[in-house]
Chains A and B, each alone.
Chain A
Amino acid sequence: MYAFNYHRAKTVADALKLYKKADDPKFLAGGHTLIPTLKQRLARPSDLIDISGIATLKGVKVSKTAVTIGALTPHVEVATSSAVKKAIPALAGLAEEIGDPQVRHRGTMGGSVANSDPAADYPAAVLGLGATIETNARKIEADKFFKGVFETALKDGEILTKISFPVPEKAGYMRFDQPASRFALVGVFVAKFKGGVRVAVTGAGPCAFRVPAMEKALSAKFAPEALEGITVPADDLNSDIHGSAEYRAHLITVMAKRAVAAAK
């Protein structure tokens, strides 16, 4: 790790001010992506602005139509919230599968979504449920948020404050583990709303993406067999020692079917 200046922000305004003053700053939330990166000397920020103490960015609120989660809410809280389990069990289930207990107690939803790791789980839920991402400055639709590998619509110095997930009729998430890291090699989130079905994939591409052909088929009939023969072309998918693009393409269909079968 290289040396850096450390600041602890008490409010969002405080954090923004500290950010503006620093040379090459980074926000620090749960630190479970950022700290390993620093330890390996893959990043060299001048300043870390620790936002983990900002109380207003924590907590879960559930209404009839939406589940709203503060950016600094750790995964464990989403996983164990009885209200989330009732409203969107697939979301609680997804959180339950992230990493290990230590990761789930430290890592935050905001950190995961802001980071847009191609293999992270939450982006599939954000996109699959058509969530709205709120920042200190604006609201961003999920469809306009994920831009590429570790790339989002967030501007430099913009703080993700909360995410609002519409409550679907049914939703399911299925992840196929990358065997070594146990991040998603392929994860598929399906959500059935009155107006239609959304299908979002993580792990397989540069960032989370939707599969319109599957959405169309499932909107017509929400059943695994509706996906028979529908595949995502392998051309633009990730390929590594754990899964070729072709294998990932195959897994998308398998996991999508299983997500539909498991949807609650």
Chain B
Amino acid sequence: MSATGIGAPVRRIEDYRFLTGRGTYTDDLNQPNQAHAYILRSPHPHARIKGIKTAKAAKAKGVIAVLTGADVVKDDLGGLPCGWQVTDRHGKPMVEPPHPILVSDIARHVGDQVAVVIAETHQQARDAAELIEVDYQVLPSATSTAAAAKKGAALVWDQAPNNLCYDWILGDEQAANAAFAKAKHVAKVDIVNNRLIPNAMEPRAAVGVYDAAKDHYTLHTTSQNPHVIRLLMAAYVLKLPEHKVRVNAPDVGGAFGSKIFHYAEEAIVTWAAKKVRRPVRWTAERSESFMSDAHGRDHVTHAELAIDANGKFLAMKVYTIANMGAYLSTFAPCVPTYLYALLLAGTYTTPTIFCEVKAVFTNTVPVDAYRGAGRPEATYVVERIVDEAAKVTGIDAAEIRRRNFIPRDAFPYQTPVVVQYDSGDYQSTLDMALKQSDYAGFEKRRAESAKKGKLRGIGLSTYIEACGIAPSAVVGSVGARAGLYESALIRVHPTGSVTVLTGSHSHGQGHETTFAQLVSERMGVELKNIEVVHGDTDKIPFGMGTYGSRSLAVGGSAMVKAMDKIIAKGKKIAAHLLEAAEADIEFKDGTFSVAGTDKKKALAEIAGAAYVPHNYPINELEPGLEEQAFYDPSNFTFPGGCHVAEIEIDRDTGVVQLVNFVAVDDVGRVINPMIVEGQVHGGVAQGLGQALLEGCVYDADGQLITGSYMDYTMPRADHLPTLKVSTHNTLCTHNPLGVKGVGEVGAIGSPAAIMNAVHNALAPLGVREIQMPATPERVWRAIHGARRAAE
């Protein structure tokens, strides 16, 4: 291993600019003669717009234009498209309502876009927006996930009876029932996977620029995938040819999934820029982020697990209601289906699994992928019910997992839920985590806590997840309206430095470092001579972007393919220069040499010859040294591992404190262990947020109660102990690097571990199920209720 190659804990190259305030974010991209947009949003969860008067606003100081849904209709703009079509249990496509960028008839959630004011300053735009008179007829609203499909619930869309978007199944319920009939024990859980609000540090922003001379549009935006935005916005909303549209996602300050999707504001500023012939900019205020960024999770689930006399799992049945919000956000329909049910085998050999998912519309912000997307929800179901199984069988929580693990020699392993795992070693990650967390010594620590009047609990999560969703043909056959490959272009400059153009956008993941390390190792080029470029559709080849922990497994593999092409071409050039047979040329550490001789040429010399082809096989080979590759994976990758959480509960207040956390993850080959550790840290902090703190609350009237940091609880440094993070890696067998992915494992594995610990602490009091977030009052009530019941 070199000091900067694969496996080296290189400090992040991008951090210098981030930490010294020199990043360039969308909001930093001021344009000459720019105007400011302010979006007027619905204050009601559900209301008919009977009339809208904009004359006063249009005349207000500094106002350039006021646009409403009527203008959208007049200009024949399309709605925001959904990128995935789920087909229901009867073979019917999901209900797919329109998603206009400005509503003209009915507003369907608090925060829905009703009008836009464009003015000389943000303040003027906002002042003028207060002068718009909207005549709302407030309609009954539905916000509760559990109740949306019940009789009497208000309808969000007339075309969706019972608010059902789809009723989808996977597996054979009859077969599952037959297995349950033979069970010795049945474990049951009723769980809520709480709705989360993403809260990236940088709020969403968009700047639209129209160049009349060239009839060309530029959108600068906070996006994880600029090409996807260009495709969706140009082809479906604005109906423009793509060569007329450039989308640029510069530095992006965190996203966690929330910046995958195509949002109305992106299309609004681009459209408006042409209408007013001025650059138009918009940056969300924090309270706008709360009510307009796609939310995450929001499931209500009943699950049952059949177990035999030896503690072996026989079958599982899972019934989930998933909240879509008021509209279908870009990838919303696939999250509770293909990213959820396919993971329900977990790390276990459960032979029969049935899953039913009812997706419902509600008068809430659209719900879509959020760090983990479907896999945290699946993990939570599986790992909670396995703990319940331990309880009903009387088998230790670690032991029952061991008895049901897919053995390490059983890979590739075909699960009953479509996917085939390529590699894993769940036994070892469990054993290592148990040792590092001193699982054996827990009862002693419990007794010590009890002496201080505190409850203590320990919890495991031996999770699995799936990254790099693939292959394109398979996802296409189940409804994806996009491919899931990635692109890379490697440009070796004449003097041997390298530019890497990648479709994998970086917004906190450290790609500029990891990818450079990868290229450095393969090409033998020093880090300082490598530049990683992403985010600008005018520069990079068509790429699918960053989500689902796919960047290294898919984007990195594309780079390897492109580098292989460079090396193959370099060998041809070297063979010519060194007067040797191509087959005798070896490439190592940046040098091409003739096997068994001391004849060699450095990569820079080869590049020089390629760009100055004086002595060059010009009849067989094109000049230049630049190669592009698209990589379409043949399977998902399957990171997994074991998280162990230990918590203490203050009996008097119900406060849960995480006191110890161990993660032993299998993320495949590690390129940069420091970045891997950092990704796990961030993920665990978000997992702790979901387990103990965060929860989006709508009141009975459909108002968003947790609309600011005064009410939405974010994890903070003092919530976390020093995390013990390590890896035990098995290699992915189907991509060239053997990498799996690490961006989401922390958020996927940890909530179940923490909640299993909470349940473990409360079990002696007779508490059965406590939902996330396990807030102080909830826990206090659980203790108090249990105490009362005991009296």
Contact = CB atoms under 8 A, between A and B. Distances in A.
B711 interface: yes
A251 B126 CA distance: 42
B384 to A, nearest CB: 23
Contacts of A244: 777
A254 B713 CA distance: 23
Interface in B733-791: 775-777, 780-781, 784
A40 B287 CA distance: 9
Interface string B675-715: 00000000000000000010001000000011001111110
Contact of A243 (B287, B697, B777, B784): B777
Contacts of B705: 241
A179 interface: yes
A242 interface: yes
B710 A247 contact: no
B448 interface: no
Nearest to B693: A179
B780 A179 contact: no
Nearest to B773: A179
B777 A242 contact: yes
A43 interface: no
Contacts of A5: none
B430 to A, nearest CB: 32
A55 to B, nearest CB: 33
Contact of A254 (B126, B652, B693, B706): B652
B780 to A, nearest CB: 6
A2 B123 CA distance: 8
A180 B776 CA distance: 12
A102 interface: no
B653 interface: yes
A250 B714 CA distance: 25
B653 A180 contact: no
A229 B713 CA distance: 32
Contacts of A41: 126
Given A1-B123, A241-B697, A241-B705, A179 B652 contact: no
Given A241-B697, A241-B705, A181 B776 contact: no
B159 to A, nearest CB: 34
A242 B712 CA distance: 10
B777 A181 contact: no
Per DSSP, chain A at the interface is: loop
Given A242-B777, A250-B780, A179 B713 contact: yes
Interface string B466-478: 0000000000000
A193 interface: no
Contacts of A2: 127
B776 A179 contact: yes
A238 to B, nearest CB: 13
Nearest to B699: A241
Nearest to A248: B777
A254 B126 CA distance: 46
Nearest to A253: B652
B548 to A, nearest CB: 30
Contacts of B126: 41
A181 B709 contact: yes
Interface string B286-297: 010000000000
Given A241-B697, A241-B706, A243-B777, A176 B713 contact: no
Interface in A119-163: none
A180 B775 contact: no
A254 B653 contact: yes
Interface residues of B, number: 22
Contacts of A254: 652-653
B247 to A, nearest CB: 31
Contacts of B713: 179-180
A27 B697 CA distance: 35
Contacts of B775: 179, 242
B79 to A, nearest CB: 31
Given A1-B123, A254-B653, A180 B711 contact: yes
B709 A251 contact: no
Contacts of B697: 241
Contacts of A176: 653, 776
A261 to B, nearest CB: 12
A183 B653 CA distance: 16
B452 to A, nearest CB: 14
A2 B126 CA distance: 10
Interface in A30-72: 40-41
Contacts of B777: 242-244, 247
A180 B780 contact: no
Contact of B712 (A1, A3, A180, A250): A180
Contact of B711 (A1, A3, A242, A251): A242
Nearest to B776: A179
Given A241-B697, A242-B775, A247-B780, A180 B709 contact: yes
A2 B130 CA distance: 11
A19 to B, nearest CB: 26
B653 A181 contact: no
Contacts of A243: 776-777
A40 B710 CA distance: 13
A180 B697 CA distance: 13
Contacts of A181: 709-711
A242 B775 CA distance: 8
Interface string B429-470: 000000000000000000000000000000000000000000
Nearest to B716: A182
B710 A180 contact: yes
A254 B777 CA distance: 13
A1 B711 CA distance: 22
A149 to B, nearest CB: 15
Nearest to B711: A180
Contacts of A242: 711, 775, 777
Scoring B693, B712, B713 by chain A CB atoms within 10 A of each residue's CB, the highest score goes to: B713
Nearest to B719: A179
A163 to B, nearest CB: 26
A199 B222 CA distance: 52
A3 B126 CA distance: 12
A3 B784 CA distance: 51
Interface in B162-202: none
A250 B788 CA distance: 15
A221 B276 CA distance: 76
A247 B781 CA distance: 8
Interface string A251-264: 10010000000000
Nearest to B709: A180
Contacts of B714: 180
A248 to B, nearest CB: 9
A251 B712 CA distance: 21
Contacts of B712: 180
B111 to A, nearest CB: 15
A241 B705 CA distance: 8
A251 B693 contact: no
Contacts of A3: 123
A179 B689 CA distance: 11
Nearest to B127: A2
Nearest to A40: B287
A55 B784 CA distance: 52
Contacts of A241: 697, 705-706, 711
A250 to B, nearest CB: 7
B692 to A, nearest CB: 9
Ranked nearest first, the 7 interchain pairs of A and B with the lowest CB-CB distance are A180-B713, A179-B713, A254-B652, A181-B710, A247-B777, A180-B711, A241-B697
Interface of B: 123, 126-127, 287, 652-653, 693, 697, 705-706, 709-714, 775-777, 780-781, 784
Given A179-B775, A180-B709, 4 more contacts: A1-B123, A180-B712, A181-B709, A241-B711
Interface of A: 1-3, 40-41, 176, 179-181, 241-244, 247, 250-251, 254
11 contacts: A3-B123, A176-B776, A179-B693, A180-B712, A180-B713, A180-B714, A181-B709, A181-B710, A241-B706, A241-B711, A254-B652
